[in-house]
Structure 1
């Protein structure tokens, strides 16, 4: 069983600038088949925009997709991992903070992302969540 985050993280996460509009964020998520993008400025992590953020902070508030920006809908990046952290740290943070994805940073710069699905595959590859997470995308 893997012990370090670097062994299960998705490398080279999708990143957007703080002024990227929701239409472009949603397009990136669709085109790259991801449920989250990292908001960065000068390569530094500022926040995370998830598919859930788009629903709860954008659609629910009636935002304009052509003017609402990543900065306006992003969740904070208060919780991060380092590539050398143990997988159990990710489990603890996700459980304690009720988050489903965690950015992986080195020197303040994003190098990966870990999802609850990644952990499910790692911890119990026969679980329903692992099966769903490993399945090809619906297009």
Structure 2
């Protein structure tokens, strides 16, 4: 069976907790991604910032994205999966926590990210349908 490393998008870039949301948005545009893992000063993952987070939690509330840091929105326990996890474990983690992007860790380092697009390229139609039903269920 395929592993997380087999289906992930490699080469993920961090953004530090002290960076502002406007910088996160610029970096997302440069990298053509919708999410960035957020790291503390020790390069430990402490969350993920998404384009939706920036819009809903900052802009839509009338806050200034040049004054709000990535750390301000990186609350809670970040979810991740080991690079050797099988696809079933990846799906379970994403479905159980209703998340659309999942960081991949190898030897305590971030090595990639799994998104819905990555899943779509590697799963059967039945697996994708079950994933969508569970992740988007409210």
TM-score, normalised by the number of residues in structure 2: 0.82
Match of 1:20 in 2: 19
Cα RMSD after superposing both structures: 2.0
Match of 1:34 in 2: 33
Q: CA deviation at 1:25?
A: 0.4
CA displacement 1:44-63 (0-9 Å, x = unmatched): 11110011211221122222
| Contact preservation (8 Å) 1:36, 1:48 | yes
CA displacement 1:57-114 (0-9 Å, x = unmatched): 1122222111110011235443210000001111112111111001112344311111
Match of 2:57 in 1: 57
Gaps of 5+ in 1: 130-139
State the number of aligned residues: 126
| Contact preservation (8 Å) 1:45, 1:109 | no
Match of 1:47 in 2: 47
Q: Distance in 1 between matches of 2:5 and 2:32?
A: 21
Q: Distance in 1 between matches of 2:52 and 2:58?
A: 9
| Contact preservation (8 Å) 2:45, 2:78 | no
TM-score, normalised by the number of residues in structure 1: 0.81
Go from structure 1 to structure 2 and tell me whether the alpha carbon gap of 1:88 and 1:75 turns closer, same or farther (over 3 Å shift).
Answer: farther
Go from structure 1 to structure 2 and tell me whether the alpha carbon gap of 1:77 and 1:33 turns closer, same or farther (over 3 Å shift).
Answer: farther
| Contact preservation (8 Å) 1:53, 1:74 | no
